[in-house]
Structure 1
Amino acid sequence: MIIIVNGDVGTAASYDPPYLPTKCPGYDRDDLPEGGLFVAASSGVWDNGAACGRRYKLRCLSGLKRPCKDASIVVEVVDLCKTNPCPATLVLPNKAFHAVSKISRTKINIEYAEI
C-alpha cells in the first residue's frame, strides 16, 4: 500500500468523453496524458486556472460497497469541471477512475497530494 504524506482529502467521480476541448491551453488528442491519467478540477482546486498542468498523486480511501483498489495513480489537471456544481473535488476520466476504484459510476473519498 502506498501512503501519501501531507495529502489533502476530497472526493472523486468519473466522467465520460468527450474530454476535449479543455480549459487548459495546449491539450489536443495527442497531448492528453498517456493512459487517460488526467483530471478536471473543481473550482476549489482550479485556483483561477493556476492548476493547469499540476500533477497529483491520488488514492482511494473509501466509498459505498468498498470500491477501493490498492493502488495510487498520478494525474495531471487539464480542465475545469464542466458541471456546476462539480460533483467531486477531482473528476477523472473513466480509465483513470477504474485504476483506483472497482465500482464505476460512484463517488469515492480520496487522498491526493501535489507532486
Structure 2
Amino acid sequence: MGPNDLFQATECNGNNQDQFPANNMFAAVSVGLWDNGAACGRRYMMRCLSGTDRKTCKVDGSIIVEVVDRCSDPCPANFLLSTPAFAALSRVQDARINVEFTQYVSS
C-alpha cells in the first residue's frame, strides 16, 4: 500500500471511507488470513522482529492494525501495511520485515 491508501476501493467495503481507522493503521492480508472475507474488520497486534539489518526495526513496542482488504495474488507477505503502520514498525521505508502477530480482541 502506498501514499494513496485511502483512495483505493477495498474488498471489504469498496469505496466507503468510514472503513479506515482514524489513525490510518490498517492492512491488506494474504489469502491465508483472508478467510473468505471474514477477516474484514479483524484487528491484529504486531511488532517487528527483524529486517534487512539489526537497525531496521523500531523497538517502541507493538501496533494494532485493522484489516480492510485482501492482498492481490500472489501476495508478497501475510500483511501489506498502510504507510503509517509500516513506519511505526520500521525505520527503513522499503525494507522487508518479519513481524510477530496475533489477533487482537479488545475487552
Deviation at 1:29, TM superposition (A): 2.6
- In structure 2, the partner of 1:49 is 37
Map Cα deviations across residues 61-95 of structure 1 (whole Å, 9 max, x no partner). 001122111121001000001x3211110000111
Q: Which one has a larger percent strand, Structure 1 or Structure 2? A: 1
Match of 2:25 in 1: 37
Pair 1:109 & 2:98 matched: yes
Aligned counterpart, 1:76: 66
The reply on whether 1:94 has 2:83 as its aligned counterpart is yes
Stretches of structure 1 lacking an aligned partner (at least 5 in a row): 1-14
Give identity over the alignment, percent: 48
- Unaligned 5+ segments in structure 2 are none
- The question of 1:62 aligning with 2:50 is answered yes
Q: How many residues align?
A: 100
SS state of the match for residue 64, structure 2?
A: strand
Indicate the RMSD between aligned Cα atoms, in angstroms: 1.5
- Shift >6 Å, 4+ stretches: none
C-alpha distance in structure 1 between counterparts of 2:38 and 2:99, whole Å: 21
CA 1:49/1:31 → structure 2, altered by over 3 Å: closer, same or farther? closer
